[in-house]
Chains A and B, each alone.
Chain A
Amino acid sequence: MFKKTIKAIFSAILATPIALMALADDQVTITVWSMDGHDLGNEDTHRQVIAAFEAAHPNIKIDLTLLPESGLEDRMNTAIGAGGKLPDVFPLISGEWAPIALDLSSYIEADPDLSQDMYAEPFWRTRATFGEKVVALPTGIGANVVLYNKDVFDKAGVEYPTADWTTEDFIKKAVAITDKANGVWGGDRPRDAYRAIWHNYDAQVYSDDSTTVEGYHNSPQSLAAYQWYWDLVHSDATPTKAEIDVLGTEGTGPVDLFIAGRLGMATLNQSHMLRALKEGINFGMVPEPAGPSKDRHANAWSATPAIAGNSEHPQEAYEFLSFWAGMEGQYISMTTGLNMFPSIPALWKDHPYIDHPAIQTFKTTLDWPLVRDFDGTHLCWRAALRRVDEVYELIGLKAIERNEIKKALDKEVVVLQTALDDCVSRLGS
């Protein structure tokens, strides 16, 4: 009897690690780097998505690392450059990373629960594809919209802006509601050239084929956009850069100034809009103002997680990615934390704030041509413009006269062309 007991104990001791090893063999860990923010959700949302996924996939464990956006960018770049190990899943926030992302086409084809048709077309078009490859799946979406504080407008006796307003209306209303004695500015100013308003003037920094700057950066359309910006700055109805830098917050917009009632109109994003809603601000929302172009443009985007091409577990990584960016994952992200806006239109009806008029305005802008239609396919525009963006700065500093803008743009063309050629030889057109 004693011998049998000893034998049974030894067998159990031997069997346990073998069983555990067998279990460990079946268990796969997928590393995920992500960002805590507007479009991918906060930490709680990430954890809830992961918990739901792990419950449905007991053989896959998710190892999540949350980083700030700039930290994620630097860490990814360093890992890519040093040839180090990349995470299995990561947000594709830089177009430069697209070549190292796994082509998801065959995985999507074999997946009965996921297809391109599920997603809003603009985000699939501008964020998920790279050449012929599908390199990411869209999750949360966002866009810039103009929030206006109704109390500020009412106090000044000025009519609210409407969706069909123009860039000239923006300046007129900003001037009318500015109340310097009480520290209230009318509206904010664009944070870069060639954003939505420039596109609404049909201004483009260089040609579609990335070969020519002459006739684009210094075109009549571009000049008109810069002149509008000059008029806005000289209206004194907008905070200076110093004021925005110090009093504006979150790096993406002066949301605190707006919520404090010190900025009548502010170009913010969907997450700021929800914050204003939750804080009970009396506000309305309109798209960015129209220019002379026949098209209105939206500066809209989507967070797009991808899988590293050298992932050791591509199938398991896809299981997680398709869950995160699929119906179930986006539903969780939409109903928790920052209430992300899904890139799957079928889910919108269940959004907790769907009935608010502001959300309807937000939805309207998503069908417009996107700023990213140009930006996302021209990797060089920012690098090239960085070399010459003096006119924009000079206007912001009130250091250039209105009639000098054309000459200054002409002067920048040569330098910009050289910078563009240098960049295109490296990153392609």
Chain B
Amino acid sequence: MQFMGRKSKRERTQAIEGYVALSPWMFGFLFFYAIPILASLYLSFTQWTLVGSAKWIGFENYIRMFTRDPVFIDAATATGFFVLYSLPFKLILGLMLALLLNMKLPGMNYFRTIFFLPAVISGVAVSLMWIWFLQPDTGVVNTLLRYVGISGPGWFWDINWALPSVAMMSIWKVGGAAIIYLAGLQNIPAHLYEAAAIDGASKWQQFWRITLPLLTPVLLFQLIIEMIDAFKIFTEAFVITQGGPLNRTYFFLYYFYEEAFRNFNMGYASALAIFLLIVIMSATALVKWWSNRWVYYEN
């Protein structure tokens, strides 16, 4: 009788080969993710100014975060609203764009490239471009609006418009999402549409009964990726608004960058990072749980 777990020489060799093949990823995960996360967790219970050694202060950073830090509320509010503003638009517009790009029309590859470009341009370059677009007095957008008799808002420099402006910038990069939807759309078997058409289904019914259900795994993927991406917004605040006006765009990542590297408050910054990690993990778990109700896997 062979004991459970006892492996033949060939199986052992295969296992070793497997681990060797996995090792680059495992080392990468260990050194660039697992250890830094554990280090951040430890540092979140300390007071550390970079210079000198970290001093253990227990839950003090977390207590401060939830009880005596008004900027924490500002940062959480700004980030939460940014996710709410940008995520639905990116998902819906991305899908609409993918449906358009999936049409068999001349020059479609050209349009696919054009729409995908914003997703690959450097965030700093895009931010600088948008600053010029949305400058209230000399910017392109308000100048065009003035031609039609509309006085445009102050965009990034207006208390009420700053956050929607940053969300709009983010939505402009919807081409990246559209390309992934497009790949999903092209995986849907054509015979399903042919059968539906023979049965007399309209284009809307085909979309509703075939396209959307078969696209739900891609939708779920996009939802999770875009949501995590939205929680991690940083470049726009760093380059354009520096968190203003009145902390309306003081996003979480920018907040802990300032705490860590401008205010030398590494312990508190680590606590903020851990909090964001928990929020993202919880939101992802929630979405995964919810997806059981609406995601359709063909197999």
Q: A residues engaging B (CB < 8 A)?
A: 73-74, 77, 80-81, 96-97, 99-100, 240-243, 245-247, 382-383, 386-387, 390, 393-394, 397, 399, 415, 418, 422-423, 425-427
B258 within 8 A of A: yes
Q: Please report the C-alpha to C-alpha distance between residue A390 and residue B71 in the assembled complex, in whole angstroms.
A: 12
> Apart from A96-B49, A387-B70, what are 9 other A-B pairs with CB-CB below 8 Å?
A73-B261, A77-B50, A96-B51, A96-B264, A240-B137, A246-B131, A247-B138, A397-B158, A426-B265
**Contacts A242-B156, A393-B246, A397-B159; A383 near B263 (Cβ below 8 A):** yes
Q: Please report the C-alpha to C-alpha distance between residue A73 and residue B155 in the assembled complex, in whole angstroms.
A: 30
- Per-residue A-contact encoding for B243-267, CB less than 8 Å = 1, 0 else: 0111000000000001011111110
Q: Please report the C-alpha to C-alpha distance between residue A181 and residue B22 in the assembled complex, in whole angstroms.
A: 68
Which residue in chain A gives the minimum CB-CB distance to B67?
A: A418
Q: Please report the C-alpha to C-alpha distance between residue A426 and residue B61 in the assembled complex, in whole angstroms.
A: 12
Q: Please report the C-alpha to C-alpha distance between residue A73 and residue B262 in the assembled complex, in whole angstroms.
A: 9
B132 within 8 A of A: yes
B52 within 8 A of A: yes
**Contacts A74-B261, A245-B157, A383-B262; A80 near B71 (Cβ below 8 A):** no
**Contacts A246-B131, A422-B64; A99 near B262 (Cβ below 8 A):** no
A96 lies within 8 A of B265 (CB): no
B136 within 8 A of A: yes
The interface residues of chain A lying within 8 Å CB-to-CB of B64 are: 422
**Contacts A242-B154, A243-B137, A245-B131; A399 near B159 (Cβ below 8 A):** yes
**Contacts A242-B135, A393-B244, A426-B47; A77 near B261 (Cβ below 8 A):** yes
**Contacts A243-B137, A422-B64; A97 near B71 (Cβ below 8 A):** no
B6 within 8 A of A: no
Q: Which of B134-148 contact A (CB under 8 A)?
A: 135-139
Q: Please report the C-alpha to C-alpha distance between residue A150 and residue B260 in the assembled complex, in whole angstroms.
A: 45
Contact of B246 among A74, A242, A394 (CB under 8 A): A394
Q: B residues engaging A (CB < 8 A)?
A: 47, 49-52, 64, 68-71, 131-132, 135-139, 154-159, 244-246, 258, 260-266
Which residue in chain B gives the minimum CB-CB distance to A415?
A: B70
Q: Please report the C-alpha to C-alpha distance between residue A393 and residue B244 in the assembled complex, in whole angstroms.
A: 8
The interface residues of chain A lying within 8 Å CB-to-CB of B264 are: 77, 96, 426-427
Contact of B157 among A80, A242, A386 (CB under 8 A): A242
**Majority secondary structure of chain A interface residues (helix, strand, loop or mixed):** helix
A426 lies within 8 A of B49 (CB): yes
What are 30 A-to-B residue pairs whose CB atoms are below 8 Å? A73-B261, A74-B261, A81-B50, A96-B49, A96-B51, A96-B264, A240-B137, A241-B157, A241-B245, A242-B135, A242-B136, A242-B137, A242-B154, A242-B155, A242-B157, A246-B138, A383-B262, A386-B71, A386-B263, A393-B244, A393-B245, A393-B246, A397-B159, A399-B159, A418-B68, A422-B68, A423-B265, A426-B265, A427-B49, A427-B264
Distance in angstroms from A366 CB to nearest chain B CB is: 28
The interface residues of chain A lying within 8 Å CB-to-CB of B71 are: 386-387
Distance in angstroms from B139 CB to nearest chain A CB is: 8
B138 lies within 8 A of A397 (CB): no
The interface residues of chain B lying within 8 Å CB-to-CB of A397 are: 157-159, 245-246
Q: Please report the C-alpha to C-alpha distance between residue A100 and residue B50 in the assembled complex, in whole angstroms.
A: 10
Distance in angstroms from A264 CB to nearest chain B CB is: 18
The interface residues of chain B lying within 8 Å CB-to-CB of A399 are: 159
Distance in angstroms from B248 CB to nearest chain A CB is: 10
The interface residues of chain A lying within 8 Å CB-to-CB of B139 are: 246
The interface residues of chain A lying within 8 Å CB-to-CB of B245 are: 241, 393, 397
Q: Please report the C-alpha to C-alpha distance between residue A423 and residue B136 in the assembled complex, in whole angstroms.
A: 37
Q: Please report the C-alpha to C-alpha distance between residue A163 and residue B263 in the assembled complex, in whole angstroms.
A: 37
Distance in angstroms from B205 CB to nearest chain A CB is: 49
The interface residues of chain B lying within 8 Å CB-to-CB of A77 are: 50, 260-261, 264
Distance in angstroms from A37 CB to nearest chain B CB is: 19
B258 lies within 8 A of A240 (CB): no
Q: Please report the C-alpha to C-alpha distance between residue A80 and residue B266 in the assembled complex, in whole angstroms.
A: 12
The interface residues of chain B lying within 8 Å CB-to-CB of A382 are: 262
Distance in angstroms from A425 CB to nearest chain B CB is: 8
